[in-house]
Structure 1
């Protein structure tokens, strides 16, 4: 008997000839859930990248704040905003939050530069 390896399973050549489609249908039903959560749409994936980019920008820019207490408070404020909106699913709402976050961070950045 010849064995064939595929990424999803290892099956013998006889299983492929005798009802192989039934095997793969049952294999898909037993496939474990992804540890990364549900699959994102392309638009959600792109917006997620923009959100992460904004978050990284905030973290980079807060390094310039000399006072450690102010730096920690600013990061906490930003983190609270991100966490408060983490379950938003509507694309237009996500886009609005990103643009609002960028403008708010720009104002905060100008204030920090003035210190």
Structure 2
């Protein structure tokens, strides 16, 4: 006679009803968040043009590190400055580095 004497253990912490809540974003922060995500994606798409896989991986890690460094920035003016810098740097990378590939 075979019976299931023990089911898979279910961790209560995994299914906890307590969740971490973040403070609500203002409209400006919401828009800036979308702009940051869009810029990050543009950078990642740009790296697809690099044929050498180790170089591509290194550049992606560098990009990720840069974005992570400013992840907690909450001052809207500072975020605008960082987005402007990222945009300029992206244009430089797009026009200066990759035409020779």
Q: TM-score, normalised by structure 2?
A: 0.75
1:107 is paired with a residue whose SS is helix
Structure 2 residues not aligned, in runs of 5+: 1-16
How many residues matched? 84
1:67 to 44, 52, 63: 52
Residue 93 (1) aligns with residue 82 (2) = no
Q: TM-score, normalised by structure 1?
A: 0.66
Call closer, same or farther: CA 1:33–1:39 in 2, change over 3 Å: farther
Q: Deviations over 1:66-85 (max 9, x none)?
A: 11111111111111110000
Of Structure 1 and Structure 2, which has the larger fraction of its residues in helix?
1
Q: Which one has the largest radius of gyration?
A: 1
**Which structure ranks higher in relative contact order (CA pairs < 8 Å, sequence separation ≥ 6)?**
2
Of Structure 1 and Structure 2, which has the larger fraction of its residues in strand?
1
Q: How large is the Cα RMSD of the aligned pairs? A: 1.7
